[in-house]
Amino acid sequence: MEKKEEAVRKYFENALAFDEGYESKGGPDFIHRIANHFFRPFLLGRRWTEFFSMIDFQNDDTVVDVGCGSGRYIIELSRRGIKKGTGIDFSSDMINLCKQRAGELGVKNVEFSQSDINETVPLSDILYSLGFLTYYKNIDSYLDLFSRKARRLIILEFPGESENIKGAILKCLCFAWAKMRSLKVNTHSKKYIDDFLSEKGFYPVKSVNYFFSWLVAYEKKL
């Protein structure tokens, strides 16, 4: 495995430290507490609101979360009435946390798989990936995979251009934070991703830019 992928895996194995930011619990050390205090309310709070206002699902839809992390999004969708949810992540600690949370909430129409992101991704009506592309410079193979595994809708979140000064500052701080944790993060061109997926039959239908990240829904046109 490449060194950068190992760094990503190592960081996200620290599942509880990553997940604490959703509920503003602080963190296990000073660095995490500072990051959670300043970054999480902006990046995760806004992302949560925008995602659930954007996703258009039906009760008989199957949904896959690629890079599901602690599983909050796919569990919430399962609670809201999708037919079946699947979360995939390469961190065993994250998957254990997902299963624990789903069990505590009594959510049964969701399953989780610990594996690398490859052909094990199941076919689904909706596939989404929030933040996963951030850690990879070359994303063509993932975009191709997503386009083959989604029947109707793909939703992607990825860092791009800053929308204002505040976004530019947050972007610099977040990238500095990642570097301190030995993570290599990458920005991506929305136009490039739009064009790539359009060639696969998926076209952007909804998008929002918040601070320095894009959240975009791509719908398959028959």
> What's the pLDDT tens digit per position in 17-65?
556 555 555 555 655 566 566 666 665 678 889 999 999 899 999 999 9
Model confidence, pTM: 0.84
Distance CA 220, CA 222 (A): 6
**pLDDT higher for 162 or 144?**
144
Q: Is 53 left (phi over 0), alpha (psi -120 to 50) or beta?
A: alpha
Query: Quick count: other Cβ atoms within 10 Å of Cβ 115?
Result: 13
CATH number, domain of 136, equals 3.40.50.150
Under the banding of pLDDT at 50, 70 and 90, the label for residue 185 is confident
Number of domains in the chain: 1
| Domain limits for position 110 | 3-220
Is 219 within 8 Å of 205 (Cβ atoms)? yes
Provide the terminal-to-terminal Cα distance of the chain, rounded to the nearest Å. Answer: 38
- Would the pLDDT of 1 be above 50? no
Token pair listed for 66? 């690629």
What pLDDT, on the 0 to 100 scale, is given for residue 200? 97
Q: What does DSSP assign to residue 208?
A: E
Angle of helix 30-38 versus helix 165-180 axis, rounded to 10: 160
Q: Is 67 left (phi over 0), alpha (psi -120 to 50) or beta?
A: left
Is 74 within 8 Å of 51 (Cβ atoms)? no
User: What type of residue is 129?
Assistant: S
